[in-house]
């Protein structure tokens, strides 16, 4: 597993802590955090699927 894009980078707890800090200390709206996460995921998906005509399915949950 040498691909840095695979595997767990953050646990749910550490991700929630970073989100909480960004919201409470930095003052970033939670909607902006979600928008940036979605944008980063879409950019990565486009990069990984370049040249493919297969569909991409997006499943969303309630968050961490």
State mean pLDDT over 24-30: 97
- Distance separating alpha carbons of residues 33 and 63, to the nearest angstrom: 11
Q: Confirm whether 62 is domain-assigned.
A: no
Q: Confirm whether 54 is domain-assigned.
A: no
Among the residue ranges 12-16, 31-35, 60-64, the one predicted with the least confidence is 60-64
Q: Confirm whether 41 is domain-assigned.
A: yes
Q: Confirm whether 28 is domain-assigned.
A: yes
- Distance separating alpha carbons of residues 22 and 30, to the nearest angstrom: 8
Q: Confirm whether 24 is domain-assigned.
A: yes
* Residue at token pair 């919201």: 23
- pLDDT band for position 1 (cuts 50, 70, 90): very low
Q: What is the pTM of this model?
A: 0.66
Is residue 27 exposed (0-12), middle (13-18) or buried (19+ Cβ within 10 Å)?
exposed
Q: What is the CA radius of gyration of the chain?
A: 14
Q: Confirm whether 4 is domain-assigned.
A: no
- Total count of domains within the chain: 1
The range of the structural domain enclosing residue 27 comes to 12-48
State mean pLDDT over 21-47: 93
Q: Confirm whether 3 is domain-assigned.
A: no
Q: Confirm whether 57 is domain-assigned.
A: no
* Residue at token pair 């040249």: 51
């Amino acid at each position: 597993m040498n691909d840095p894009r695979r595997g767990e980078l953050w646990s749910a707890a550490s991700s929630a802590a970073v989100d909480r800090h960004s919201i409470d200390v930095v003052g970033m709206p939670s909607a902006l955090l979600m928008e940036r996460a979605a944008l980063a995921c879409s950019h990565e998906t486009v990069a990984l699927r370049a040249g493919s005509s297969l569909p991409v399915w997006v499943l969303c949950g309630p968050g961490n």
